Amino acid sequence: MAALDWTVVGLYFLVMVGIGWWAKSRISDASDFFVAGGKIPWWLVGISHHMSGYSAAV
């Protein structure tokens, strides 16, 4: 791979690590992790659960 390819891969990695650290700082317990502290509307939870079933079936 060329230097530009490695640069893009490295930047992507750093952005992903940054997002992970930022998200980790916002989560204080299991409730925040699994249900976003109760801030997600019921219909979005339902759609997410339904689509997870499709993903698991494939």
CB-hemisphere CA count at 13 Å for 45? 9
Q: Which of 35, 32, 13 is nearest to 23 (CA)?
A: 32
* pTM confidence score: 0.56
Identify the pLDDT of residue 58.
63
Element (H, E) at 14: helix 3-26
Identify the pLDDT of residue 2.
94
Taking the C-alpha atoms of residue 15 and residue 37, their distance in angstroms, rounded to an integer, is 25
Tell me the pLDDT tens digit for each residue of 6-16.
Answer: 999 999 999 99
Indicate the domain borders of the chain.
Answer: 18-57
pLDDT exceeding 90 applies to what percent of the chain? 41
Report residue 57's pLDDT band, with 50, 70 and 90 as the boundaries: low
Cβ pair 27, 33 in contact under 8 A:
yes
